[in-house]
Amino acid sequence: MENFVTDRKEFENYKSKIKKLFPDYISFEKNSFNNNFKYFIAFDFDYIFEEIFFEGTISFLNKIKNGKLFFYTIDPSPEDYFFIHFNKYSVFELETNKNYNDFNSIVYKDPGVNTADAIGINSNEISCFSHSDDWAIIGSREWEISIVGFISLEMKEKFLNSFGDNSDIFTSIEQQVNILDDMLNFDNELKADYNELTENYQDRE
């Protein structure tokens, strides 16, 4: 059964990877992907925990010959919150030969004494990645958006093709913001905040 990382040295390896992917991380809307990332697509944050997202991501990892998916909770802090409360880090890896039930079990696993602390429930900002430096995901429950970054159009196409008919869950960042606006009817302040996010995640030349 999959488990959270408990070893400090192992955790530091994942933390180093996060710092490599997002070297100047401030907040979700600022776009802290490193400069190698040129292309971005968006999807609804909640899909991260759904089977169609899991299956497509595993298919993608097999296509690029990466054997593990890594899941890292940025907020609440895996150190200052999760480890202090549960003596483990809100970080785990899942081999690509595992199934959705394995994934679902750990994201909704009670880390201590309260299932409300499961990362599928109380995580606000997360990242998914693999050994490759060519792609990564960052998502925010507060903003209700997840963003996939790629270093090349080829990698972006491989990712989308891995989802087959379900690739329509992905949009441009602007389209995803418009979907949210239609549902939530942004006031002017919120509209300005999401416009900033859209500008920050424009594809780079």
The full set of domain ranges for the chain reads 8-200
Q: What is the pLDDT of residues 122-151, one digit of tens each?
A: 899 999 999 999 999 999 999 999 999 999
- In the beta sheet, which residues pair with residue 72? 91, 127
Distance CA 42, CA 173 (A): 5
Helix (H) or strand (E) holding 95: strand 91-95
What's the one-letter identity of residue 51? E
The model's pTM:
0.95
pLDDT in tens, 40-71: 999 999 999 999 999 999 999 999 999 999 99
- What value, to the nearest 5°, has the Cα angle with vertex 196 and ends 132 and 203? 40
**Is the distance from CB of 88 to CB of 4 less than 8 angstroms?**
yes
Nearest to 59 by CA among 152, 172, 166, 147: 166
What is the C-alpha separation between 82 and 184, in angstroms, rounded?
31
